[in-house]
Amino acid sequence: MEIIKTIDLEKTYRDNAMPVHALKGISLAIKKGEYTVIAGPSGSGKTTLLNLIGALDKPTKGKVFLEGEDISRFSRNQLGELRLNKIGFVFQAFNLVPVLSSLENVEFTMMLKGIPERERKERALAIMQELSIDMLADKRPNEMSGGQQQRVAVARAIVNNPSIVLADEPTANLDTATGSDLLDLMEQMNRERNITFVFSSHDQQVIKRAKRLLTLKDGKIVEDKMIEG
């Protein structure tokens, strides 16, 4: 089943004097359970593509289907609702709310969904145990290392059972060993829970471990290959 499908996606940024054609016709489909890395040089449009898939932004042209539904025409509020229910995000850094503990950060999206406090706590703790970060439950972001923070961000991204988790350069601020641990974690979630992951990265170790590698250049897909594990 296709979780994501884009048709002839174009994005042009016009806030500067010169319009920037960040994406120039991207058509792709991502199936449930895939583990995809979008690679490409800086400025090739990786973040732009993830933002469109993640309902953070609207395309200039073309369509984005999430689980068969055309989200290109959604309103701001509908997009917010969609992100809350169907998409998990892991950003490069500063993912967490500084004044909340890890546990509360993981609970946060469940709070937004109106899940009662007890259930919230249970589910947050359960996922943190599964990711072996339950000992961080009471820590605030500034009391944790970058790698620990990213793990908590992964916990937050998957706790609501999203259709897809999008991670924009999740290892960019981590050293190799820590980045590798984080990737182990996400691979484990992909394997055990069949969660669909899409990354963007220039990090070679991320790219090496991809099961599907999409390469962008100048806003176009130049390569799309499946890598057999």
Partner 1 sequence: MLVKLAWRNIWRNARRSMIILLSVIVGLAAIVLYDSISVGMIRQMLDNQIGAHVSHIQVHNEGFSDNKIIQNYIPDPEKVEAAIQNTPHIRYYSKRVITFGILSSAYSSSGISLIGIDPGKEEQVTKIKESIIEGGYLSGKEHEIVIGKQLAEKLEVGVGDKVVAMASALSGNIGSEMFRVAGIYRTFSSEFDKTHIYVNLPGAQKMLELGNNISEFAVILDDLDQQQQIKTQLAAALNDHYEVLTYKELLPLLVMQVEVYQESIFIFYAIIAVAMIFGIINTMLMSVFERIREFGVLMAVGMKNRRLFWMILLEAFFLGTLGTGIGFVISYLLYLPLSNSGINLSAFSDSLTSFGAGTTIYPVLTVESVISALLVIPFIAVLGAVYPAFKAVRLEPMNAIRYV
Ligand X SMILES: Nc1ncnc2c1ncn2[C@@H]1O[C@H](COP(=O)(O)OP(=O)(O)OP(=O)(O)O)[C@@H](O)[C@H]1O
Give me the residues that bind ligand X (CB under 6 A), please. 13, 15, 20, 22, 40, 42-48
Q: For the CB of residue 76, give the shortest distance to partner 1 in the complex, in Å.
A: 8
Q: Cα–Cα distances in Å, from 184 out to 69, 167, 178, 187?
A: 32, 14, 10, 5
Residues 6+ apart with CB under 8 A from 126: none
Angle at 111 between CA 107 and CA 117, to 5 degrees: 75
Angle at 95 between CA 89 and CA 96, to 5 degrees: 120
Between residue 89 and residue 108, which ones bind partner 1 under the rule CB under 8 A?
89, 91, 94-95, 97-100, 104, 107-108
In the complex, residue closest to Mg ion by CB: 47
Pick from 6, 36, 44, 47 the residue near Mg ion by CB under 5 A: 47
Residue 72 contacts residue 64 (beta carbons within 8 Å): yes
211 is a site residue for partner 1 (CB under 8 A): no
End-to-end CA distance of the chain: 21
80 is a site residue for partner 1 (CB under 8 A): yes
Choices 83-91, 130-138, 185-193, 194-202 (CB under 8 A): range interacting with partner 1? 83-91
Q: For the CB of residue 211, give the shortest distance to partner 1 in the complex, in Å.
A: 25
Q: For the CB of residue 72, give the shortest distance to Mg ion in the complex, in Å.
A: 21
Residue 183 contacts residue 171 (beta carbons within 8 Å): yes
Please provide the size of the chain in residues: 229
Binding region for partner 1 (CB under 8 A): 51, 54, 56-57, 76-77, 80-81, 83-85, 89, 91, 94-95, 97-100, 104, 107-109, 111-113, 117, 156
